[in-house]
Chain A
Amino acid sequence: MSDRDFWVRAAQRLAMRRNIASWSDAFLPAFLGLTVIAALVLLALRLMGLAAELHILWITWAGMLVAAALACAVIAGRRPFSLPDSLSRLDEVGHLHNRLISAHAGIGDWPPLNPRIRDTVRWNWPRLTVPMLTSALLLAAAALLDLPKLAVNSHPNEEPIAWTQTESWLQTLGQAKILDQPALDKLKEDLGDLHNQPEKDWYSQSSLEAGDALRQQTGQSLRELQQDLEKSSDLLTQAQQASQMSASDLHALSASLQEAAKALQSGNLPANKELTGKLRTFDPSTLKTMSPDQMRALQQRLAAGAKVCGQCVGPNLGDGCVAGGDGHRSGKTGADDKFGKGASGIPGGGGPADLGLDDTSENLHTKRMEGASNDDPTRALPGQVIAIAKGKHNVDKTTPSGPVTAGAISSAGQGGDAVWRDSLTPDERQVLQRYFK
């Protein structure tokens, strides 16, 4: 390798290294800054439970890193470290009296190669690695840190009240085993569909309307079921005297029971098939042979079912299993009590608000003004006028009025008075202060 080749290669290597270093000088702070932002956003997303949005974060972060890298390359490339710059650097380090840069310009020979000053710089690894490691640690911490449960996650959104109520009904009905199981499952499935929406959509208009509709339908169906069960129960009460009935009455009763069983089975919420099956078995002959105890047991079961339905839906829809009871506020009843008594509570029902007007008016006399006096000055309020007196101001006529310039005589005096010059300029005041100090 010739001397020239050796020095040119060494200079090229140095130039490349310096240009990369210039780029990294510009890029590393940007990299660290972007990573800090990404880590903060990652933390925020995790706290908000938006893990599904993380891919957007990573894509954005990577894109910004690429843009920053390109911008830094442009900035560093505006004034690159050239081959003459590198030769000059090698000259300086090797104390070569600028022979390299001169030889590059065609003046004089290239100095003999010197492997000792081939690499005049080395990487400052702490400078390079600290931002990278810091970034990696920040990202790892943001991704893996066990976060304290924020309000968003630790207290999940409260379900709309209609759902809670419907769910409560289904639970009660399930325990009472009144409903046909597929119908109960269908209701649960409908409610589950509402639950499965993203939490942010729970209180959307459509979701609330759907929940209310489900509750209304279920409540209506329960009311119908209650009526059918009560009817069936009444029929069974009559059936307990079947032994004393005539054949025609028995036929009529049997037909009614069949009809009731049919109604129980054909409603929106069909009753338990076992119950309806038993009712269907009541023909006139069975009615005669069946013991009163068996009938009573069945009747009590139907009555209990009707009671459960009644408890769920309450006297009015909305006063059911969850809320129930009268409101806390009792409306003011008018003379004919036509507005009724408002019942409130979480379900939000219970009648109109208390906007009734009273018959008797109340005059508060707010326009009449009355004075308040205080003769005791020791108890006077701040700003209160205690007394007014007439008098004259004692004005010193020797003191000139109007603006007074600094250094001027502030008092003209009257023969024999001591005249003081008490207005000093800042400079005079400083001089006096220094003097007396």
Chain B
Amino acid sequence: MTNQYATEAEIAGAGASLTRLREALNTVLFGQEKLIDFVITGLLARGHLLLEGLPGLGKTELVKGLAQALHLEAKRIQFTPDLLPGDITGNPILNDIDGRRQFVFQPGPLFGNLVLADEINRASPKTQSALLEAMQERRVTVMGETYALPDPFFVLATQNPIELEGTYPLPEAQLDRFLFKLEVPRNPVAVLERIVKHREIGETVTIAPVLERAELLAISALSRRIYLPDVVANYIARLVHATHPEGSEAAKGLKFGASPRAALGLSAASRAAALLAGRMNASVEDVQSVAAPVLQHRIVLDYSARLDGRKPSDIVDAILREVPVQERELPKTLKDAKL
């Protein structure tokens, strides 16, 4: 019988596996420890990730490394404007079986544990929308037949913030399906030097698997058993409410705020972050650490905010500063002590 909440021993065991995974990924991608932590957090929370960054920063390498380290079946789809939904979900093909011609479903590249959707914003909205059901329901429906996707199923999409000509920005409903939108930062000089020393063009980095599929699923289930205190749940709710224009001063420049799915994402991500940190409970600090990647792609700026040059991440930061951890303010006859 399993406890309702994760025990210290379970967390310690998971911590060792996660440390191995983190170390393995750090050998694939140099100097991106924070990004790697977010990717692992997203996987533990069973969320899909959208990576945004300039070409050549190692987004594809990271996904490949992740697939090797987790010993999962990885598929890659290069999104182009002429890509059709059937190209990714799969198509029924007319086959001759025992002299009878009948349609047989040929699964597409979506049928994998780890799907790399490269340059997702180059595909047409129709093809992008084909991912909706797969990402949310983890199944695909073709010609009235529904096919379950393998478990685990993660979509790691990348998009390029430049060369926007000929691209199709992801619609809000599609963006909402991604748990995190992570920005891949540019490497500092020291990291570049390390890359130059240890990598060659065209060389494929190979790493040994550190986690089996079943182990990953168990750790992912464990993250859902991390204790989420009421005060943290209340903080998440107030944070998501504050992303709406009427919810806070910081959100005045927004057209739309985050959805309840964002609140669920914050909850799952903060639990996963707590597990990654080896703690038995999610905390306000965990929520604050994952708030930007969870919320920044779910809020829609209005025209004036765009003109003012405000970025979604700035607004999330402002909301984090504005929303107090304690719902009730200190009475006026008290003040904070200097510690």
Known: A93-B339, A107-B5. Contact between A123 and B334, CB under 8 A?
A: yes
Judge whether B285 is part of the interface by a CB distance below 8 angstroms: yes
B283 touches A97 (CB 8 A): yes
Tell yes or no: B323 within 8 A of A by CB. Answer: no
Are B331 and A22 in contact (CB-based, < 8 A)?
yes
CB distance from B266 to the nearest CB of A (A): 15
Scoring B residues 211 to 235 as 1 if CB is less than 8 Å from chain A, else 0, what string do you get? 0000000000000000101111000
Interface check A5, CB cutoff 8 A:
no
- Enumerate chain B residues within 8 angstroms of A155, measured Cβ to Cβ: none
Please, how many angstroms separate the alpha-carbon atoms of A128 and B5 in the complex?
Answer: 45
**B39 shortest CB reach to chain A, Å:** 22
> Are A97 and B332 in contact (CB-based, < 8 A)?
no
Complex contact B284–A92 (CB within 8 A): yes
- The answer to the question of B197 belonging to the interface, with a C-beta cut-off of 8 Å to chain A, is no
Q: Which residue of A lies closest to B4 (CB)?
A: A107
Contact A18 B334 (CB under 8 A): yes
Question: Is B328 engaged at the interface, CB distance under 8 Å to the other chain?
Answer: yes
Among the stretches B66-74, B84-92, B274-282, the one at the interface with A is: B274-282
Residues of A within 8 A of B330 (CB): 18, 21, 121
Contact A120/B331 with A102-B227, A102-B229, A107-B227 known, Cβ cut-off 8 Å? no
Cβ of B336 within 8 Å of any chain A Cβ, yes or no, is yes
Query: Are B8's CB and A25's CB within 8 A?
Result: no
Q: A95's contact among B227, B281, B285, B332, by CB below 8 Å, is which? A: B285
A122 at the interface (CB under 8 A from B): yes
Judging by beta carbons under 8 Å apart, are A98 and B335 in contact?
no
Closest to B6 in A: A107
Please state if B333 and A124 are interface contacts (CB–CB under 8 Å).
yes
B176: chain A residues within 8 A (beta carbon):
none
Q: Which residues of A contact B2 (CB under 8 A)?
A: none
Chain B residues with CB below 8 A from A91, complex form: 231, 283-284
Q: Which residues of A contact B336 (CB under 8 A)?
A: 93, 120-122
B284 lies within 8 A of A98 (CB)? yes
Interface string of B262-288 (1 = CB under 8 A from A): 000000000000100001111111100
Q: Roughly how many angstroms separate A97 CA and B280 CA in the complex, as a whole number?
A: 10
CA distance A95 to B332 in the complex (A): 23
Cβ contacts A127-166/B at 8 Å (1 or 0 each) = 1100000000000000000000000000000000000000
Interface residues of B in 299-333 (CB under 8 A from A): 325-326, 328, 330-333
Name the distance in Å between B234's Cβ and chain A's nearest Cβ.
Answer: 9
Beta-carbon contact of A21 and B283 below 8 Å: no
In angstroms, how far is the closest chain B Cβ from the Cβ of A115?
A: 11
Set of chain B residues within 8 Å of A354, measured between Cβ atoms: none
Residues on A with C-beta less than 8 A from B8 are 108
Is A46 interfacial (CB-CB < 8 Å)? Answer: no
Is B190 interfacial (CB-CB < 8 Å)?
A: no
* Binary contact readout B176-189 vs A (1 if CB under 8 angstroms, 0 otherwise): 00000000000000
**Choice from B282, B325, B332, B334 contacting A17 with Cβ under 8 Å:** B334
| Residue of B whose beta carbon sits closest to that of A92 | B325
Complex alpha-carbon distance, A101 and B231, angstroms: 8
User: Would A120 and B339 count as touching, CB distance under 8 A?
Assistant: yes
B337 at the interface (CB under 8 A from A): yes
A105 interface neighbour in B229, B286, B326, B328, Cβ under 8 Å = B229
Residues of A near B286 (CB, < 8 A) are 97
Known A97-B285, A102-B227, A108-B280; contact A121-B335, beta-carbon cutoff 8 A: yes
Nearest CB in chain A to that of B279: its residue: A97
CB contacts (< 8 Å) of A107 on chain B: these are: 5, 227, 280-281
Q: Is the CB of A98 within 8 A of B339?
A: no
* A24 close to chain B: CB less than 8 A: yes
Q: Which residues of B contact A108 (CB under 8 A)?
A: 8, 227, 279-281
Please determine whether B335 and A122 come into contact, CB atoms closer than 8 angstroms. Answer: yes
**Shortest distance from the beta carbon of A267 to any chain B beta carbon, whole Å:** 80
Chain A's nearest CB lies how many Å from the CB of B322? 16
Q: Mark A309-322, 1 if CB is under 8 A from B, else 0.
A: 00000000000000
Roughly how many angstroms separate A64 CA and B130 CA in the complex, as a whole number?
Answer: 71
Collect the chain A residues with CB atoms within 8 Å of residue B281's CB. Answer: 97-99, 101-102, 107-108
In the complex, how many angstroms separate the beta carbon of B115 from the nearest chain A beta carbon? 34
Distance, CA A88 to CA B328, complexed state (A)? 11
Asked if A116 is at the interface (CB within 8 A of a chain B CB), the reply is yes
Q: Would you call A89 an interface residue if the criterion is a C-beta within 8 Å of the partner chain's C-beta atoms?
A: yes
Contacts of A81 in B (CB 8 A): 328
Complex Cα distance A18/B333, Å?
A: 9
Which single residue of chain A is at the shortest CB-CB distance from B227? A107
Q: Are A84 and B231 in contact (CB under 8 A)?
A: yes
Q: Counting CB contacts under 8 A, is A119 at the interface?
A: yes
- Distance in Å: Cβ of A169 to nearest Cβ of chain B: 70
Query: Are A24 and B331 in touch, CB under 8 angstroms?
Result: yes
Q: Using A89-B326, A92-B325, A121-B336 as known contacts, say yes or no to A98 and B331 having CB atoms under 8 A apart.
A: no
Q: Which residues on the A side are within 8 Å of B325 (C-beta)?
A: 88, 92
Chain B CB within 8 A of A85 CB: yes
Most buried by B among A79, A98, A99, A122: A98
Which residues of B have CB within 8 Å of A124? 332-335
Per the 8 Å Cβ criterion, residues 50-99 of A in contact with B are: 79, 81, 84-85, 88-89, 91-93, 95, 97-99
CB of A113, distance to nearest CB on chain B (Å)? 15
Chain B residues 142-192 with CB under 8 Å of chain A are: none
Interface pair A98/B337, CB less than 8 Å apart = no
Shortest beta-carbon distance from A243 to chain B in Å = 107
Q: Does A412 interact with chain B (Cβ within 8 Å)?
A: no
Is there a chain B Cβ closer than 8 Å to A260's Cβ?
no
CA distance A344 to B330 in the complex (A): 78
Residue of B nearest to A98 (CB): B283
Distance (Å) between the CB of A41 and the closest chain B CB?
28
- Give the shortest distance, in Å, between B222 (CB) and chain A (any CB): 14
- Determine whether A28 belongs to the interface, using a CB cutoff of 8 Å to chain B: yes
Contacts of B285 in A (CB 8 A): 95, 97
| B283–A121 touching, CB < 8 Å | no
A18 to B8, CA, bound (A): 34
Chain B residues in 8 Å Cβ range of A406? none
**Complex Cα distance A122/B334, Å?**
6
Q: Report A-chain residues with C-beta under 8 Å of the C-beta of B328.
A: 79, 81, 85
A126 nearest CB across to chain B (Å) = 10
Q: Which residues of B contact A85 (CB under 8 A)?
A: 326, 328
**CB contact between B331 and one of A18, A84, A88, A97 (< 8 Å): that residue:** A18
Residues on the A chain within 8 Å of B326, using CB:
85, 88-89, 92
Residue of B nearest to A121 (CB): B334
Q: Can you identify 10 A-B contacts, CB atoms within 8 angstroms?
A: A93-B339, A97-B285, A99-B283, A102-B227, A102-B229, A108-B8, A108-B279, A121-B335, A122-B337, A123-B334
Closest 10 CB pairs of A and B: A21-B331, A97-B283, A102-B281, A98-B283, A108-B280, A107-B227, A88-B231, A21-B333, A21-B334, A25-B331
Residues of B bordering A, CB below 8 Å: 5, 8, 227, 229-232, 274, 279-286, 325-326, 328, 330-337, 339
